[in-house]
Amino acid sequence: MTNIIDGRKIAKELNAKTKKRVEKLNAQGITPGIVVILIGDNPASIIYTRNKHRTAEKLGMKSILRKFPKDVSQTEVLQAIHHYNDDPTIHAILIQLPLPKHLNQTELIEAIAPEKDVDGFNSRNVGKLYNNEDGHYPVSCTSRGIMTLLHSYLDKIEGKNVTIIGRSILVSRPLQSLLINENATVTMVSLHTDNIDYYTKHADILVVAAGKPNLIKKDQVKPGATVIDVGINRTANHHLVGDVDFDDVKEVAENITPVPGGVGPMTIATLMQQTVDLCEWNR
């Protein structure tokens, strides 16, 4: 029987744990604080940042949604980042991506203090993850959320063959490191890969982060595989669909995430978890 991986339920449970941690910190006179920076008027970014801001408030954190117009200058955003780097009531800084084209994304991400880099995109934190360093550091929230989902449905990651479709720095590459650090064998495929089916059919765990609606069908999936669909695609009639043809693939997968209700809720819950982590690690 196929298990539908319930991202909403697991996110809710994680949020409940995070709320308890916030309450414990509150009792010591500490309030975890997050600032979410939104630049421009990308409709998806507006929804994501609103959800992040509201969830943080609901869990009892200090939450700031800092908005800038789409023509804001690089200097003005840098000044805001420096301001929040120096603000002891803020433990986590997130810049919602993608950014308007005139802004230098790398410079802005590198400007975030590594100990407040809640999405783990700063090169210092990326390097620590890549090197599998001991100690505490933030990692990509979507990737860590996917690991939480996998751990909820699988006994172990070690020894599994994993194929990741896509090689983005936001999701796929940090996920690759997290999986390798748990002794999985990871193959990454992209638009430049010949015969993608060869790699998908050998995967015990198939992660699809391509941004292509219904790209993956059941004849490309190993029977009994765990399938994680990261894609969020909006159809012409405003429905959300993933990169995996869910109804087709669920006939062969053992575990599969739906869209919506799979990876998406985990990204926000992990952001909340990691904000409290940063507060605890750096107080």
- H helix or E strand, kind and range, residue 4: strand 3-4
DSSP 35-80: EEEEES--HHHHHHHHHHHHHHHHTT-EEEEEEE-TT--HHHHHHH
Judged on CB neighbours under 10 Å (0-12, 13-18, 19+), 64 is middle
Judge whether 134 counts as a catalytic residue.
no
14, 61, 232, 249: residue in contact with ligand NAD (rule CB under 6 A): 232
Is 96 one of the annotated active-site residues of the chain?
Answer: yes
CA angle 259, 7, 161 (to 5 degrees): 85
Interface region with ligand NAD, contact rule CB under 6 A, candidates 25-33, 58-66, 184-192, 216-224 = 184-192
- Spatial contact of 32 and 55, defined as CB atoms under 8 Å apart: no
Both structure tokens of 132: 């599998």
Q: Which of 11, 72, 129, 215 binds ligand NAD (CB under 6 A)?
A: 215
By CB under 6 A, is residue 196 in contact with ligand NAD? Answer: yes
Position 170 contacts ligand NAD (CB under 6 A): yes
Which of 6, 117, 119, 229 is flagged as catalytic? Answer: 119
Q: Report the sign of the C-alpha dihedral through residues 131, 141, 83, 102, in that order.
A: positive
| 119 included as an active-site residue | yes
- Smallest gap from Cβ 246 to ligand NAD, in A, equals 14
Return the number of the residue (66 or 144) whose C-beta is nearest ligand NAD.
Answer: 144
**Does residue 264 belong to the site contacting ligand NAD (CB under 6 A)?**
yes
Q: Which residues are part of the catalytic machinery?
A: 52, 96, 119
User: Which spans of this chain sit near ligand NAD (rule: CB under 6 A)?
Assistant: 142, 165-168, 170-172, 189-191, 196, 209-212, 215, 230-233, 263-264, 267
